[in-house]
Amino acid sequence: MTKCVYWGKTSYLATTVANLNFDESEGHLRLYQALLILGVSFALTIGCANEKSYIVYDDDNLLYMVSVEKPAPEVFINGIRGINPEASTDGKSLSFITNKSSRRLVGMWKGGSKITWYEHPEFEPYIFNPSPFNSSGYVFSGLNTSHLDIYFSEQIRNITKFRSMDFEPSVSPDDKAIVFTSDRISNSDIYTNERPVSDRDAIENIKEWDITERGIKYNTYRDHNIDIFTSDIDGSNTIRLTSARAVDYQPDWSSDGHWIVFSSLRYDNSEIFKIRTDGTDLERLTSNEYNDDQPAWSPNGNLIAFVSDRLGSKNIYVMDPDGTNQIQITSSLSGLNSPTWIKCKAGIHKKAGNTCP
């Protein structure tokens, strides 16, 4: 990881120039040293100054970005439509879905204003949840006959193959593992004690899930055991992290690789939890009568962004990793989704060294 280090360059440079009254060859050498230090200083300024984290999200049409420090949303990249943005844990790359000329494409951003487009006609239009992987590609959910599997974008190779609905993958910081949502151990036909016997036949006839533009939507009138799993990046060593008789979904990996934050319907409405990657230390982060979901950990690990409808429409909020200091960031009436974090450099006057959109 590159770190920005500053030292007394100015005084050293002044001293160097002042000493040019030595012999000519030594003066040339010192001038060269001074110019070299000046060049390195300029490179450090361009490379490190103004590097900030931004939340990227969508309104079911366009992508937007907003700073927590100065929450004034702006369009991510003009002319680009998209949904379901998902960034890498370091915030250096981002993938999203768009529908373009009747095709469903995956867009990849790796800095600046350039988007690289990918298509998967073998799955179209059932391509969901792309998540950056290894700086050169992404993993995604694709519908294979009657079930969803998780695939690599390169070589279109299965990561999961369980004849279940495996979706919402998030790649670990070291690119060696994924966390994902799955119904592979589903209790969709087990009813809670609160369900009247007279309702059971009617509930059985309700479709268990639907495929929407944004992905899988489970019918909450039926009881499910949708859980969070991890596996190695090749699909081996699968571990079940949650086992509540409820829908646990929308997992996101912390930047240090030690925690998973996720949404859960275990208390009727959607709330946000975190759990260690070994399945221990489950902790509830939100607790209210509204819906809090779609959590996303910031690149430096000090904040979690999420969506809440606590004031009516769905807006973006942030909180500390322990659930405290919950702050509203956006004030939209249209309903917002899929917050994720990018990290980029504004450069000098948003020009030299700029890596932001």
Tens of pLDDT, residue by residue over 67-100, are 999 999 999 999 899 999 999 999 999 999 998 7
Please state the rounded mean pLDDT for residues 58-75.
95
Closest listed residue to residue 161, CA positions, set 152, 172, 150, 169: 150
Domain of 214, CATH number, reads 2.120.10.30
Say yes or no: 16 and 150 in one domain.
no
Q: If pLDDT is split at 50, 70 and 90, which confidence band does 245 have? A: confident
Please work out, in degrees rounded to the nearest 5, the angle formed at the alpha carbon of residue 157 by the alpha carbons of 155 and 162: 170
Say yes or no: 145 and 195 in one domain.
yes
Closest listed residue to residue 178, CA positions, set 155, 149, 204: 149
Say yes or no: 124 and 203 in one domain.
yes
CA distances (Å), origin 114, targets 47, 85, 94, 110, 111? 19, 15, 11, 8, 7
Q: How far apart are CA 293 and CA 178, in angstroms?
A: 20
The answer to the question of residue 316 being in a domain is yes
DSSP designation for 348: B
Say yes or no: 64 and 202 in one domain.
yes
Say yes or no: 33 and 157 in one domain.
no
Q: Which residues contact 234 (CB under 8 A, 6 or more apart)?
A: 159
The sign of the CA dihedral 55, 213, 126, 230 is positive
Tens of pLDDT, residue by residue over 208-240, are 556 666 766 655 444 457 899 999 999 999 999
Closest listed residue to residue 323, CA positions, set 279, 280, 284, 271: 284
The answer to the question of residue 306 being in a domain is yes
Q: How far apart are CA 45 and CA 51, in angstroms?
A: 10
pTM for this model (two decimals): 0.80
Closest listed residue to residue 120, CA positions, set 161, 83, 154, 80: 154
Predicted pLDDT of residue 8: 37
The answer to the question of residue 351 being in a domain is no
User: Does residue 198 surpass a pLDDT of 50?
Assistant: no
The answer to the question of residue 356 being in a domain is no
Q: If pLDDT is split at 50, 70 and 90, which confidence band does 12 have? A: very low
Say yes or no: 233 and 250 in one domain.
yes
Say yes or no: 28 and 93 in one domain.
no
Say yes or no: 142 and 21 in one domain.
no
**Count of domains for the chain:** 2
Predicted pLDDT of residue 192: 33
The answer to the question of residue 352 being in a domain is no
Helix ranges (DSSP H) in 115-169: none
The beta strand positions in 90-136, using DSSP E, are 94-100, 103-109, 115-119, 127-133
Whether the link from the prior residue into 125 is cis, omega within 30° of 0, is yes
Q: Which domain covers residue 41, as residue numbers?
A: 9-46
The encoded tokens of residue 68 equal 């927590």
Say yes or no: 165 and 40 in one domain.
no
The answer to the question of residue 350 being in a domain is no
Q: If pLDDT is split at 50, 70 and 90, which confidence band does 6 have? A: very low
CA distances (Å), origin 159, targets 105, 117, 133, 186, 230? 20, 22, 13, 20, 11
Say yes or no: 21 and 105 in one domain.
no
Helix ranges (DSSP H) in the chain: 9-18, 24-48, 197-204
DSSP designation for 32: H
The answer to the question of residue 354 being in a domain is no
Say yes or no: 184 and 276 in one domain.
yes
More confident call, 163 vs 276: 276
The answer to the question of residue 20 being in a domain is yes
Q: How far apart are CA 329 and CA 327, in angstroms?
A: 6
Say yes or no: 22 and 170 in one domain.
no
